[in-house]
């Protein structure tokens, strides 16, 4: 007797039928696995699209915030130039513009963080 040989004899037609059954079971399992993988791939594609949409929203918000900050910086620069102009007039004319300057400074002072 050969080593690893079956103890009892299986007729060839039963052996082939058993192999065919195993093959069909494996094919069925592979189809289920393929279907599950396709569903997961569709879900991941949907999540990826959602993430890209959110990233685009965040980029838009960031760009808007940067634009607002630039506008605020230009506005503050203009205010600083106006105050410097008033201070220059104050020194040239000798008029007492300090109350006006104080009001402007109070009004436009940048809030402390």
pLDDT at 7 over 60: yes
Structural domain count, the chain: 1
| pTM of the model as a whole | 0.52
In a domain, 1, yes or no: no
What are the angstrom distances between the C-alpha of 72 and each of 22, 24, 69, 76? 74, 71, 5, 6
In a domain, 113, yes or no: no
In a domain, 86, yes or no: yes
The pLDDT of residue 112: 54
The dihedral sign for the CA sequence 52, 53, 56, 58: negative
Domain that holds residue 21: 12-108
**pLDDT winner (highest mean) among 59-63, 72-76, 88-92, 94-98:** 59-63
In a domain, 62, yes or no: yes
CA distance 2 to 76: 96
Tally the C-alpha atoms within 13 A of residue 37's C-alpha that lie toward its C-beta.
6
In a domain, 88, yes or no: yes
């Amino acid at each position: 007797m050969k080593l690893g040989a079956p103890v009892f004899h299986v007729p060839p037609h039963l052996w082939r039928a058993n192999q065919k059954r195993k093959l069909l079971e494996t094919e069925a399992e592979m189809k289920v696995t393929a279907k599950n993988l396709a569903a997961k791939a569709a879900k991941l594609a949907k999540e990826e699209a959602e993430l890209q949409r959110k990233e685009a929203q965040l980029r838009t918000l960031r760009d808007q915030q940067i634009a607002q900050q630039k506008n605020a910086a230009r506005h503050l620069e203009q205010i600083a130039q106006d105050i410097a102009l008033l201070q220059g007039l104050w020194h040239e004319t000798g008029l007492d513009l300090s109350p006006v300057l104080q009001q402007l400074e109070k009004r436009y002072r940048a809030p402390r963080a």
